[in-house]
Amino acid sequence: MNATATHPLPPTPDGGLFTQLRRSTAFLPLVGLAAISVFMIVATDNFLSWGNLQNIALQSSINAIIAVGMTAAILTGGIDLSVGAVVALSGTLASGMMVQFGLPPMLAVPLGLAVGVAIGLFNGYCVAYLRMPPIIVTLATMGIARGIALIYTGGYPIDGLPDSFAFLGGGVLAGIKVPILIMLATYLVAYVLLNMAPFGRYVYAIGGNEEATRLSGVRVSRYKLLVYALSGLTAAIAGIVQAARVTSGQPGVGVGFELDAIAAVVMGGTSIAGGRGAIVGTLVGALLLGVLNNGLNMIGVSPYLQLIIKGGIVLLAIFISREARK
């Protein structure tokens, strides 16, 4: 039995483009995004303006980037609760390297990204080789990373970042905000990894049937390690972009980001049990959350009521995902 035999995804469906789309896990999220967008167009006056659409994409970019790594973790049947704290630690560390040690952004940014990867590797080692539960491991590293960020900064933000670094959070290229371009580039790389490379096949296979994948000769532990390293990397990328957007390293940023990322993944059609989903669906799920937040604010819905609405939608998405898996 070879490794590809354990791949849980169905073969390429017959029929036209619409038939293939309808069978995709991203179909229902797309329908939901379209339905909510139509409602917001009717309920508000300037929802479709270019400025507002770009604002939605900009507001969604941080969550969408984090959700890339979260998708890979959930596809293997795991989860990563440390991403919000990694956002804070990576952003504050890179900011400190620039302000306190005078490093240029081209050196400080890789250091911030390296911290995210290191935490991801630690998570992956505990999950893959020590066989510890992902939810417990990442909950612990969430506290550790947040504590390090607070100790490093003394609980205060790090200001005075150079303009060249701020470009990553507020610059414009070809009429599009740089964070949006970073988000799209991240999804393009993730799409290639999960759909065109052996890495993706093994990630889906591990989530579909880990024991069968191991018996087929795949080094499951190695790929789990890589998955959590990817999750740490994408959280660190989001942390760098976040720090550049506010031109400050904030040790308290990122609280609740892990919940938003999980919501984007689940609303994008990825099964919380693993083995089924699509990275394109995650992008749709993140944009759906962004449209929902933007539209509810424009309508004037109370922030407290918004939490109830979004929580209900996440529960509905999990229910639909479970029924589709059946």
Q: Map out the domains of the chain with their CATH numbers.
A: 50-325 (1.10.3470)
- Average confidence (pLDDT) over 259-283: 91
Residue-level pLDDT at 1:
42
- Average confidence (pLDDT) over 257-278: 90
Q: How confident is the model at residue 4 (pLDDT cuts 50, 70, 90)?
A: very low
Residue-level pLDDT at 7:
44
Determine what percent of the chain is predicted with pLDDT higher than 90. 68
What's the pLDDT tens digit per position in 171-220?
999 889 999 999 999 999 999 999 999 999 999 999 999 999 999 999 99
Q: How confident is the model at residue 70 (pLDDT cuts 50, 70, 90)?
A: very high
Place of tokens 């083995």: 275
Structure tokens that stand for 278 in this block = 């699509």
How far apart CA 190 and CA 212 sit, in angstroms, is 25
The enclosing H or E element of 177 equals strand 176-177
Inter-residue long-range contacts of 122-127, CB under 8 Å, 24+ positions, other chains counted: 123/80, 123/82, 123/228, 123/231, 123/232, 124/224, 124/225, 124/226, 124/227, 124/228, 124/229, 125/225, 127/78, 127/224, 127/228
Q: Is the pLDDT of residue 49 over 80?
A: yes
Residue-level pLDDT at 138:
97
CA-nearest of 252, 232, 83, 108 to 166 is 108
Q: Is the pLDDT of residue 286 over 90?
A: yes
How far apart CA 44 and CA 310 sit, in angstroms, is 19
- Average confidence (pLDDT) over 81-107: 95
pTM for the full model? 0.90
Q: How confident is the model at residue 12 (pLDDT cuts 50, 70, 90)?
A: very low
Residue-level pLDDT at 10:
41
Any idea which of 39-53, 114-128, 281-295 has the lowest mean pLDDT?
A: 39-53
Residue-level pLDDT at 6:
42
Determine what percent of the chain is predicted with pLDDT higher than 70. 91
Q: How confident is the model at residue 130 (pLDDT cuts 50, 70, 90)?
A: very high
Contact 264, 282 (CB under 8 A): yes
What's the pLDDT tens digit per position in 306-323?
889 888 887 887 777 666
